[in-house]
Structure 1
Amino acid sequence: MAQLPLDELTAVIARIQGLLLTEEKVTTAIRLLARAAKESVPGTIGAGVSLIDGRGRRTSSGYTDTIVSQADTVQYEYGEGPCLTAWASERPVLVTDLNVEQRWPQWRNGIAGLPILAVVSAPLLAGKESLGALKLYAAAPDTYDHGSAALLQLFAAPAATLISHIQANEAPHRMTAELQASLYTRDLVNRATGVVMERMGLRQEDAVRFLIRQAREEKTSLQQVSERVVAGTPASGT
C-alpha cells in the first residue's frame, strides 16, 4: 500500500484543520477531506463521508464520485454495510475482497452491479460522540490493508473535529431560523383563522379545517393559504 509522504500528509491535515478558522460550510470542508483521502491510496475510485442530516436521515456528504453515493444509498436502504458498521462500532472496518466477504449480504447483493471490491471505513469520533464515517471504495481486491485503515483514521480525526465545530456553530443559527419560521407560521394561521371566522361565521375549529381543506385542494401549504387570506385575497369558497 502506497502512502502519502509524512510531510505531505501533515500538510493536508493542517489545511483541513485550518478550515476551523474559516466560514466554510461542512460540505465544502468534507469535499476537501474526501479528495485528499482518495488521493492518498492509489486504486481508490471514490471517497466520502456518511452523516446524519437535519432531519435525522443518514446521508452522504462531500463525496468525490457518484459511485460513493450509489453504494451508500444501498447501505442506508438496508441498514447494513461497512460504513454503518464503522459508524456504530466506532472502529475502522476493512474489506479486502467483497468476493469472499460474508458480512452484510443485502448490501453486497445490492451493489453487485457496481465496480466495488474493496472498502475501508473509519468512524468520525468527536469526544464521546460518533458523528459518522469516512470511507474509501476501490474496484480491485486487496487495494486496502490495515495500513490503509490507519491512514484513514489520521484523516478522520481532524474531520470529526471540523464537523463537530461547524455543526456546533451553525446549530444555534439554524434553530433560531426554524423557531422564527415556526412562530411566523403559527401567528399567520391564527390570524387567517380569525378572518375566516368573521367572514364566514364559523367556529374556530371549523375555520381551521376550512383552511386545511383549501390547502389540500389547491395542493399548496397552509402557510400560503393563510397568507392569501390575511392579505385580503379571498380563499376559494369565501
Structure 2
Amino acid sequence: MTESKSLHLEVAEVMSEVAAALQSPMDLDETLELITRSAADTIPGIIEASISITTKDREIKTLAPTGLLVTRADHLQYELGEGPCLDAALDDPIVAVNDLAADPRWPDFGPKAAALGFGSQVAFQFRAEPHVRGALNLYALEPNSIDQDSVQLGSMFAGQIAVAMGWARQDQTMTEALATRNVIGQAVGIVMERYQVDSDRAFAFLVRLSQSRNTKLRTVATALVDQSNANSQR
C-alpha cells in the first residue's frame, strides 16, 4: 500500500470517528478536543493544533489546544495583534506561512513563534451561524511543512468545527426553548388551580401580567413558580 493511500485511509477513519461524535449527544469541549487532536495526529508534519474564537467585541480566545506551547503561540498573536490565526479568524479564509522565523508579514510574532520551536503554521477560517467565527490553527516543527495535503485536510477539520459549534448552538437554543415551555406550563397549572380557570384563561392571565409589567413571559412564569415553591415549603 502506498504512503498516500495509507494516509487517506487513516484520515477517513478519523473523519468517521469525528462524524460519529457529532451525531450523538455531545459535550462541545470534548468534541472540539477530539477534532484538534485528530488534526494534529493525522495531518503530515503537524504536531499541535488549537481553535481561535472571536467574541462579539472582537476579542479572541483559544479553545481545545493540544498543548501548552500552542496556547502560548496563540496568546502571543493576541498580545502582539498579528499572526496567522488572527488573520484567519478575522479576515482571510486560509493563511499559511512556511517559515515563521523569516516571514515579513509578522515581524514580531514570527521570530517568537520560532523561538518556541515552531517552523511553520497554517490557519483556516470557519463560521458557525449565526455569529460564531474563528480559525483552526495548525503548527509544524519544521519550516516548509505546509503542502497541498495539509491545506485540504485542514480545511476538512475546520468544517467539522463549524458543524460542531453550529449544532451546539442549536442544541442550546432547543434546550432553552424546552425550559421556557416547561416553566410556562407550570405557571399555567398554578394559575388554573389558584383561580379555578381553564388553561386558555390561565395563559391569557400570564400574558396580560407580562404586558402590564413590561416583562418577558418566561420571567413572569418563573417568578410565579418560584413563589409557589417557596410557599409550599413553609
Alignment partner, residue 36 of structure 2: 34
The amino acid of 1:101's aligned partner reads D
Q: Secondary structure at the match of 1:47?
A: strand
Mind listing any 5+ residue stretches in structure 2 that lack a counterpart? 180-234
- Counterpart Cα distance in 1 of 2:52 and 2:5: 23
Shift of 1:99: 2.8
Gaps (5+ residues) in structure 1?
178-238
Q: How does 1:98-177 map to 2 (within 5 A)?
A: 98-126=100-128, 131-170=133-172
1:202-221 paired onto structure 2 within 5 Å: none
1:217 aligned residue: none
TM-score normalized by the length of structure 2: 0.65
Q: 2: CA distance between counterparts of 1:40 and 1:83?
A: 20
Q: 2:54·2:132 contact (CA, 8 Å) conserved in 1?
A: no
> How far 1:92 moved relative to its partner?
1.1
Q: 1:128-174 CA distances to partner (integer Å, 9 max, x unpaired)?
A: 86621111111211111233112100111122111111133235768
Counterparts in 2 of 1:2 and 1:24: CA distance versus 1, 3 Å: same
- Opposite residue 67 of structure 2, the aligned amino acid is D
Q: Which amino acid aligns with 1:46?
A: E
Q: In structure 2, what is the Cα distance between the partners aligned to 1:104 and 1:175?
A: 45
* Aligned residues with identical type, % of pairs: 28
| Aligned counterpart for 2:25 among listed residues 23, 26, 36 | 23
Tell me the CA shift for residue 82 of structure 1. 0.2
Q: Which residue of 1 aligns with 2:84?
A: 82
Where 1:5 maps in the other structure, the secondary structure is helix
Report if the CA contact (8 A) 2:10-2:42 is conserved.
Answer: no
Q: How far is the alpha carbon of 1:54 from its aligned partner?
A: 8.9
Tell me, in whole angstroms, the C-alpha distance in 1 between the residues paired with 2:55 and 2:165.
Answer: 12
Report the Cα distance in structure 2 between the residues aligned to 1:166 and 1:3, rounded to whole angstroms.
34
Equivalent AA in structure 2 for residue 169 of structure 1: D
Does structure 2 retain, via aligned residues, the 8 Å contact 1:48–1:61?
yes
Residue 59 (structure 2) pairs with residue 60 (structure 1): no
Distance 1:54 1:13, change over 3 A: farther
From the superposition, tell whether residues 2 and 118 of structure 1 become closer, same or farther in structure 2 (CA, over 3 Å): farther
Distance 1:115-1:174 versus aligned 2 partners, 3 A rule = farther
Aligned equivalents of 2:177, 2:116: Cα separation in 1: 39
Residue correspondences, number? 177
Query: How far, CA to CA, are the matches of 2:177 and 2:109 in structure 1?
Result: 35
The residue number in structure 1 matching 2:182 is none
Q: Counterpart of 2:51 in 1: which secondary structure?
A: strand
Aligned mates of 2:178, 2:130 — CA distance in 1: 26
Shift of 1:2: 6.4
CA separation of 1:37/1:113 partners in 2, compared to 1, >3 Å: closer, same or farther?
Answer: same
2:12 aligns with 10
Structure-1 separation of matches of 2:168 and 2:119: 34
Shift of 1:33: 0.6
Amino acid at match of 2:141: A
Secondary structure of the residue aligned to 2:108 is helix
> Bigger shift: 36-45 or 135-144?
36-45
Distance in 2, Cα, partners of 1:3 & 1:103: 36
Letter in 2 for 1:26: L
The normalised TM-score by structure 1 is 0.64
Q: How does 1:41-56 map to 2 (within 5 A)?
A: 41-52=43-54
| Alpha-carbon distance in structure 1 between the residues aligned to 2:61 and 2:177 | 20
Instruction: Note if contact 1:90-1:123 (Cα within 8 Å) is conserved in structure 2.
Output: yes
